[in-house]
Amino acid sequence: MKKDIHPTYYPDAKITCACGAIFKIGSTKKEIQTEICSQCHPFYTGKEKLIDTMGRVERFKSRKEKASKIIICGTSLKDNEFLNNLAKFQWIKNFNKPILGICGGMHILHAIYNGKKEKNKEIGLIRINFKKNFLSLIGNKEVYNLHQYYYDSKEFETFENQQISKHKTKPFYGTIFHPEVRNKEIILNFTKN
């Protein structure tokens, strides 16, 4: 066997898991950090446990603070699970930078401000005459709708048959239609201003 080609072997290397468990094993690394182990993995414990292994929550908070604007996009027609988890969006009430809520994003904005849920299924293209300038959209336009509900909050002014909204005091905008389909200028103007 050749000399000096093999890494150093540590017979009592220390493994530390994110859950706090510590193990000793033989390894070529003196210390190892792991995100999950047999002490916390649901397969072994039988318990489901949320572990923020990648620092997702902290990374989201950091990115949110650095962002100059936020767009909350919609979801598929049947995916309304986010409406059962509105507590996760309460941070919006303390946020003072511009937000554009698209379809499901508009639902979230209205719902966290005590909006009332109304059944309002619309699928397909419709024509709307935008009488007021909304993020540079004005005049007779074709928009694409894909939603089952509408939320109406007294904290928002709604326009054009409840297709668009603006918070009364904060820079929060909402579209129940999908501007990414036919009206990309809304998104572009939101991001530029």
How many residues in the chain?
Answer: 193
Lookup: tokens for 78: 């049947």
Which of 30, 53, 76 marks a domain boundary? 53
How far apart, in whole angstroms, are the C-alpha atoms of residue 16 and residue 96?
Answer: 40
pLDDT score of 54: 60
Calpha distance 176→165 (Å, rounded):
9
Q: pTM, whole model, 2 decimals?
A: 0.68
State whether 42 and 84 are in the same domain: no
What pLDDT sits at residue 61?
79
CATH number for the domain including 111? 3.40.50.880
- Mean pLDDT over 181-191 rounds to 92
Number of domains in the chain: 2
Element (H, E) at 105: helix 104-112
CATH number at residue 13: 4.10.80.400
For residue 85, the model assigns a pLDDT of 84
Domain span holding position 39: 1-53
- The predicted pLDDT at position 69 comes to 94
Q: 176 in a domain, yes or no?
A: yes
Domain contains 61: no
Read off the pLDDT of residues 109-130 as tens digits, 9 standing for 90 and up: 999 999 998 888 889 999 999 8
Mean pLDDT of the chain: 86
Q: Does residue 39 belong to any structural domain of this protein?
A: yes
**Alpha-carbon distances of 169 from 37, 55, 65, 86, 154, rounded to whole Å:** 48, 33, 20, 21, 12
Q: Residue 124 falls within a domain, yes or no?
A: yes
The pLDDT, as a whole number, for residue 141 is 92
